[in-house]
Structure 1
């Protein structure tokens, strides 16, 4: 297949591109910078005044939207929040414009999303059928992002929203900072420790996207989390056990709030999310348990 990726040079995008090429697909990465083709990877300039990506894309089978300023980088002040929000809307609007003028429409449009759309809770369990929407900054951003991307249904046969949980990988995301204190014998419970961590290994993130591309009956929200979420306290204890480090130095909520501001909600609050669509469709997780995932990331290098 010929697959267009926006955000193909990011944490998830790079891994996904490698997997798609290995599977024999052709990948076109939308980028602001000029780059020479590399094997079956082509780079198409976009979001610049002189760019005309539609003229280079031609026919494409699938569009994947991973574009947007990372929520993990920088403090969530008003300016950074605006960048996070606007970057997602701008990229999605441009993808919609591109698809609208292509003579042949893609068979599928896959848009990144996040479990932050669900309200934080110690007791609720969320599946794709859950209709509650968080009212905080992240909840509003994800909700508006999905609503904007839904317009692709006018052009594409199928629309899927990949609601990523806490993605565990060594090359990006929150995990390197989460595991770092344990490497220095300073790990411990963050906040109350009762908040849920609905995590997923980066390998299963990539595999789930490819699974949804191939499963033509999957559409709408898709929770991309492992089937075994854990409480924050147990998450930390498992890191300590894998690294043979103590889990002893608590990090109070107030300290996290002072250090991270509003972004502290990413670690102080959480949601218990189940990947019901993936499991019902027969997706097999390579890393269904946290212990397996952490051993792969922290030991097998």
Structure 2
């Protein structure tokens, strides 16, 4: 199998490459020098799509590129960067796929559970349509719409509505765990907001599953089957790390620190992977305690 991956140097991309040892992988990256240092030698690097002459050779395209959405305050400039980093590359990939005489069999393109917007304690599956129209929804809705511009007669499209990916190697978890390790951890706001998460191994295995399942199409919630409230997540994390769970961060403090971006943390969604489970995917880490024990095992 020949696979093109964007975002291949990121947390999910690196693990996905490791999970495809027999595939011939090309990674699209702006920084080929850095990518060459952190990716296996078997990976071919391309600095731009125009540098790839033969797009017909790819059996699959996995689009994981995008500016981290919650790392910085949402200034107008940062919002545009978040959008452009997702929309531009997706539109370019769709154009190249549609120009192929022998297009790839499958196009997996990133998205996020932010597609649904804030939903309180409602149970959200892929069939849910009552979205809350806010910035995260706008980003993801256009991102998915662009991906679905692929001519799907020959190329099936899956969009990956990803939750919080848990790994000790990067992403949100190290930042979330640090206050607990320092003994000052606790819930954020009132703690009632749901956090829909997924272990990095399940995330990658689900991507591989979708690559190989010829019947898989459309949006997929890439989340574990048991989301937790922030309060419950905090308690489980504290217990796993053998640290106290005594403090809390008031909502107004988060808003002072993060501005509008704090809404991602202070609101939430209870998102279930309905389509994945019905398709036959089995989670290795369906519960939070099992996932965190694996990540922080001695």
Q: TM-score range by the shorter chain?
A: over 0.9
Q: 1:57: Cα distance to partner?
A: 4.0
Q: 1:135: Cα distance to partner?
A: 1.1
TM-score, normalization: structure 1? Answer: 0.93
Q: CA RMSD in A?
A: 1.6
User: Which stretch of structure 1 is more off in the superposition, 243-252 or 120-129?
Assistant: 120-129
The CA deviation string for residues 46-105 of structure 1, in whole angstroms up to 9 with x for no partner, is 16xxx432x054411001111111113222211111100011111111112221333310
User: Which stretch of structure 1 is more off in the superposition, 168-177 or 203-212?
Assistant: 168-177
**1:200 correspondence with 2:198:** yes
Distance 2:297 2:264 in 1: 26
Judging changes above 3 Å, is the alpha-carbon distance between structure 1 residues 268 and 193 closer, same or farther for their aligned structure 2 residues? same
The CA deviation string for residues 129-156 of structure 1, in whole angstroms up to 9 with x for no partner, is 1112231111110011101111013574
Q: 1:199: Cα distance to partner?
A: 0.6
Indicate if the aligned counterparts of 2:165 and 2:198 stay in contact, CA closer than 8 A: yes
Give the gaps of 5 or more residues in structure 2. Answer: none
Aligned ranges 1:1-301 → 2 under 5 Å: 1-21=1-21, 24-34=22-32, 38-46=40-48, 51-53=50-52, 55-154=53-152, 156-300=154-298
Judging changes above 3 Å, is the alpha-carbon distance between structure 1 residues 166 and 34 closer, same or farther for their aligned structure 2 residues? closer
Alignment length (residue pairs):
294
User: Which stretch of structure 1 is more off in the superposition, 201-210 or 57-66?
Assistant: 57-66
Indicate if the aligned counterparts of 1:72 and 1:173 stay in contact, CA closer than 8 A: no
Indicate if the aligned counterparts of 1:116 and 1:139 stay in contact, CA closer than 8 A: yes
Indicate if the aligned counterparts of 1:190 and 1:252 stay in contact, CA closer than 8 A: yes
Indicate if the aligned counterparts of 1:109 and 1:156 stay in contact, CA closer than 8 A: no
Distance 1:153 1:160 in 2: 13
Distance 2:117 2:41 in 1: 43
Q: Secondary structure at the match of 2:219?
A: strand
Q: 1:13: Cα distance to partner?
A: 0.7
Judging changes above 3 Å, is the alpha-carbon distance between structure 1 residues 285 and 154 closer, same or farther for their aligned structure 2 residues? closer
Give the gaps of 5 or more residues in structure 1. Answer: none
TM-score, normalization: structure 2? Answer: 0.94
Distance 2:249 2:138 in 1: 28
Judging changes above 3 Å, is the alpha-carbon distance between structure 1 residues 185 and 216 closer, same or farther for their aligned structure 2 residues? same
Indicate if the aligned counterparts of 2:55 and 2:96 stay in contact, CA closer than 8 A: no
Indicate if the aligned counterparts of 1:121 and 1:195 stay in contact, CA closer than 8 A: no
